[in-house]
Structure 1
Amino acid sequence: MDNYLRQEWNRHVDRALLVDVPTEYLIKAKREQIDQIVEKSIQEHGQVPKLFTEILQKAIGWLRGLIEYMRETEHCEIDRNGDMVLDHDLTLDLTPEPVPEHVKGKRPLSVEQEAKVMELQQILNKLKKQEQKIYAMEKNIVQQEKCLEEVKRKLFHRKEQKELENKIELDKGQLESAKDTLSMIPKQYGYKSILEILNELKHAEKELADVQQKQVDWDTTEHEKVYEVVAANVQGNIEEERKKQSRLRDKKYKKQLER
């Protein structure tokens, strides 16, 4: 992409030379519009290819505007101070140079990465629900054991005590089964452990974030239109000059009549 933009800059330089932009001015422009900005960008952000691309795009847009200015003012008069005489506003297109799709390639797809993250999140949600179930069972057993201690201190509650002990024993068996299920869930999906799933999810989320950033970079190679207006500098003077010429013609005509 950057090679394409460098080529476009060189092409615009050639066109600028053909519309009489001085070589010295173009050298200065490259230094100010590209070199100095790139140097500052590296100092502030390090080597970021995307920023270099944007700098080139803006520089080419600026040079395109300069070429347009030179063409539009090619036949303008120069006043006694050496300044260009503009009797109308000039609107220059400084939009950063777009990158054709065949150069930047197709927009990166994230379908595969999104599917992977979604799959792992579903497994993780299943694990979390199972853990919540285990936690609820543990709390229930603790509560029942407290009740059992109270029943043991009472007289003539042997039957109630036995029933409660059996219930606790049954619940503990179900708790062990729930814990075994928790351990088996990763293996059902081809993973050795919960830690492996978490690491895999972290890796998948990073891959997805990388692709999404590439999508953002791809999208932002298209810029909004940028225009600069060069205001007329002699509109009032021209009108005044026309009135003056008209008055002179009227005086001249009157003198001819008086003769």
Structure 2
Amino acid sequence: MARHSFIQMSKLPNVKGRISYITSPARQENLYAAYRTADNAFWGNLAKESQQEFKRSGADGKCVEARELIIALPEVYTQYEPQQVLEDFTEEFHRRYGVECVSALHHNKRKTNYHIHLIFSERTLLPEHKIKIATRSVFFDETGKRVRTKKEITDEDRKIRESCTVIKKGEVYESHLFTTKDDRFKSEPFLREVKAVYTDLINRHISTPEQHLKVFDKNSVYLPTKKIGKNNPKEDEIKADNAARQEWNRTADMALLSGISETKILEVKRTEIHEKTSQSIKSKGWLPNLFHSIVNKAKDLLQNLIREKDMPPKPTLDIDMAEFHTMQKLMIKVQDKAKEIRHLQDTVLPKLKQQLTDTKGIFKGKERKALTEQIQQTEKEISERMDKLPNMIKEDGYPDVQAFMTAYREAEAVVEQYNRRLAEWEQQVKEKRRPQKPPEKESVRNRLRQLQEQGRRQPRRKKSFDRDSR
């Protein structure tokens, strides 16, 4: 599988505190750069007005003063000047969405996660401040709600209750510096767009196509893995969860190479993972071990489909078409590797496990230990070989197995259509009819080149980090 970009959005109930935390050298061990498009006064006024609006609304929960994006960067970005990287990423957002931002570029403590924190406002400043002057005394209760009379906020002694407010005639009782929140920032399409924008920006400055990131497609045959945050108490649980997901993804690659259609794999994923997980959560709540079991059963079902499905025959062509032959050679190469893995899975490993089961007795300890080590080594070899399969695809410029198989099937269909047309033409010649014009190889070659480029998606980028390269 190709590496996916990681871009996460969260709500901020205390924007001033969060800004102080991410931009403070005293509080961040590995802070490389900080940048802002608005001063502290802007963020202070934003927080104040957001809280006032939230209080007036009477809504439950916490007030959302701003939002934050966390953008993970590949380690290749450490070779670029940090301040320039940060300003480029921040100004991209500022120009595109027209809101103010504060950002910081960090490494985690172990220096394994190079990332940007980008805080942005959901409101913009009004061209002119809206100020309301009281034409008579205005009264607000403890919750900030406006009431009609003073009597409603007084106690038995006719004294104004604590936390209630009185705005006298002629005083300012309400002012607005900002627009209302832009609802697009809390929509799914916005987050999808941001992920695409920043993934493209990241890839612009990675010269090696094999290292390019892609946005995870939830409609693909793969399952996403989860990122483990700093000091996460569920680290072990997430690692086990990711291991189960990776096993499914490897098996999905094997299924694609075995000739099982994407539609069938997606059906197994939907019915055996998504639907059963949803049912499990509704009836029992979230149970990590149960989820692992669901994914493993789905993986076993997919492996059974692979065993039942014969490998497609190696295609042969009588015409010289270099573009398709290149794809064909790659297909044969990865299918041969997949056969070797299936041999280990279906023959070697079961045989070793059966030998271990048959080796009994108190004097067979060394033999059992040796067999156990062989089994572990074989399982490790299977995992390593399955991990190498997508890399073989990526070396030829395709982001993952699914993308290659899609391009290959389309190319195969083009070639088959060409062969049918050529056969019809030859038959007409044989029967001495006036033949139609023979199909042109050049047009077929052009179509195959288009399919290869669509599958590979290899934009040429400059290696140096240059803001003007866009």
Same fold (TM > 0.5): no
Q: TM-score, normalised by structure 2?
A: 0.22
Larger RCO of the pair (alpha carbons < 8 Å, separation 6+): 1
Q: TM-score, normalised by structure 1?
A: 0.38
Structure 1 or 2: more helix by fraction: 1
Bigger radius of gyration, 1 or 2? 1
